[in-house]
Amino acid sequence: MFSPVQHVRAYERIVEQIESAVLSGELAAGQNLPSERELMRQFEVSRATIREALRVLESRGLVRSRPGNPKGPEVLSFQTNLLRTPLSHLARVEHVSLTDLLQFRMVLEGSATYLAALLRTDEQLAEMEEALAAMVSSVERGMAAFSAADLQFHDAVARASGNELLSVCSDVVRGVVLQMMHEHIAGAPDSVDLMQTWLKAHSALLDAIRAGDAELAARRIRQDLFDHYEMHVDPERRAVVEQMLRSGS
Amino acid sequence: MFSPVQHVRAYERIVEQIESAVLSGELAAGQNLPSERELMRQFEVSRATIREALRVLESRGLVRSRPGNPKGPEVLSFQTNLLRTPLSHLARVEHVSLTDLLQFRMVLEGSATYLAALLRTDEQLAEMEEALAAMVSSVERGMAAFSAADLQFHDAVARASGNELLSVCSDVVRGVVLQMMHEHIAGAPDSVDLMQTWLKAHSALLDAIRAGDAELAARRIRQDLFDHYEMHVDPERRAVVEQMLRSGS
DNA sequence: ATGCATTTGTTCGTATGTATC
DNA sequence: AGATACATACGAACAAATGCA
């Protein structure tokens, strides 16, 4: 007859309502929520409850509130941050190894590149070429600048895959890999040779994308990633990783 | 001379401290945090501040607090929860289509299956066979039970990949796909035919894994996923998705 | 450039329903 | 079954920070 009532805490319902308003686009980025006091009138709850809801929304990257702002909490433009923090946490929590990450990145970027070779528009191709040019010109500015340009390049490729999810995840994993490299391994040497090798590889990769040869492009990027991070791969799993890049998957 | 003071909110520092304690394993899953009142003594802040921190940790899936629990907030066993909520949010926020999700799932599960075929132990193989048997016996209990058993099967396969990250992500995406199907599409009919077809496909997939034929196994699972969700694929992108499954990527 | 009003960050006190011993 | 300790939620208050006239 009657079904048990599940306790939903007050702040949860507020989070739900605000979140769905933001997600549905009812509240666009750049706009502002009503002030805490106004919200507490609208939801008919105490200020503490409103604040708990706001803290959760803030931690999810949907809003940001600053002290003394009469306009109220701002609605943020969400993006990859929504996923980056949790994934980075996951990597630390589960003691994900660099080998795991590299393997995962090979899977993601391999597929993204495959799709990019098939679907890229001329504008997107131009973007990649531009990013590659930026890499060339940043060789002499050191490894840090070079890495930043490299990220741009990979991002351009991933976006051309036409799959937002794949693109965002690739982006996130790329970031986490870089972060772990920074944390655990001494900074890469400013080797011009290394950068030149890297450039040549990327140039060949871009050729494959330009030609629309998806299979080749996917194989190349996987090979490039492997070559670049080879030294950090767990010796026991090396054979498997290598087999992955020889094959199609 | 002096560097600008960045004011970090009190609750943020508490989140950081508790989070790093949990993440480092100092506080294992199943244990309990001190009660709110005790925490407020230890951190020397008010109860409201403690609660804001706890709400954030709760929304990240690290702890759960229930009213009247004298032992204090529980530390949860994280892993998939840590990623599922954000990814599910991302899918909704960025208006990720079912086609995006399916494509992504094909990439992840394809690679996971590839690796599983190479690396699975006999125990893991037995697990998959067990899950398949559970699917067989749940055919008559309806689609819901069948789907649950199906999840078990895929989870067993993904775990055998030996890559925790790949496994967790596959699991998460699988869940999100199911959730979106539930939200947007009328519940699948209790078609026994459909389940039988599904079973046959899984059986063939398991054969490939058992034989250690990684290429074949990967191709099969991608094909199976495509066949199953084909009707929901955006017609414009159908050709590309099909090309993906014919090829290696 | 200076106040001024408003808002947030934080604290304290209190009432109420609930889970555990 | 009762006592105890707990979380949920409310209200009032003060300091610091912000935006605007």
pLDDT digits (tens, 9 = 90+) for A152-190: 999 999 999 999 889 988 988 898 888 788 776 665 566
pLDDT digits (tens, 9 = 90+) for B73-99: 888 876 666 677 777 777 766 677 889
What's B146-190 look like in SS3?
HHHHHHHHHHHHHHCCCCHHHHHHHHHHHHHHHHHHHHHCCCCCC
Interface of B with A in 91-150 (CB under 8 A): 91-94, 96, 100-101, 103-104, 107-108, 110-111, 114-115, 118-119
Give B-chain residues touching A165 at CB under 8 angstroms.
90-91, 94, 96, 100-101, 104
Check B86 against A83: CB less than 8 A apart.
yes
pLDDT digits (tens, 9 = 90+) for B42-80: 888 888 888 889 888 888 888 888 887 878 888 887 666
pLDDT digits (tens, 9 = 90+) for A121-138: 999 999 999 999 999 998
The pLDDT value recorded for residue A185 is 65
pTM reported for the whole predicted model: 0.81
Give A-chain residues touching B56 at CB under 8 angstroms.
55-56, 58-59
Q: How far is the CA of A16 from the C1' of C4 (A)?
A: 36
pLDDT digits (tens, 9 = 90+) for A3-61: 555 667 888 888 888 888 887 778 888 888 888 888 888 888 888 899 889 999 888 88
Residue B238 has pLDDT above 80, yes or no: yes
The CB density around residue A92, as the number of other CB atoms within 10 Å, is: 16
Give B-chain residues touching A218 at CB under 8 angstroms.
248-249
The pLDDT value recorded for residue B4 is 57
Residue B10 vs residues A59, B48, B50, B61: alpha-carbon distances, Å? 14, 11, 9, 20
Query: What whole-number distance in Å separates Cα of residue B202 and Cα of residue B198?
Result: 6
pLDDT digits (tens, 9 = 90+) for B128-155: 999 999 999 998 888 888 888 999 999 9
User: Can you tell me which residue has its alpha carbon closest to the C1' of nucleotide D18?
Assistant: A68
Show which residues sit with Cβ under 7 A of nucleic chain D: A 9-11, 44-49, 66-71; B 7, 35-38, 47-48, 51, 54, 65-70, 72-73
Question: Does any CB of chain A come closer than 8 Å to the CB of residue B243?
Answer: yes
Q: How far from the centroid of its chain's Cα atoms is residue B17's Cα?
A: 27
The share of chain B scoring above pLDDT 90, in percent, equals: 39
Residue A93 vs residues A88, B23, B60: alpha-carbon distances, Å? 9, 5, 13
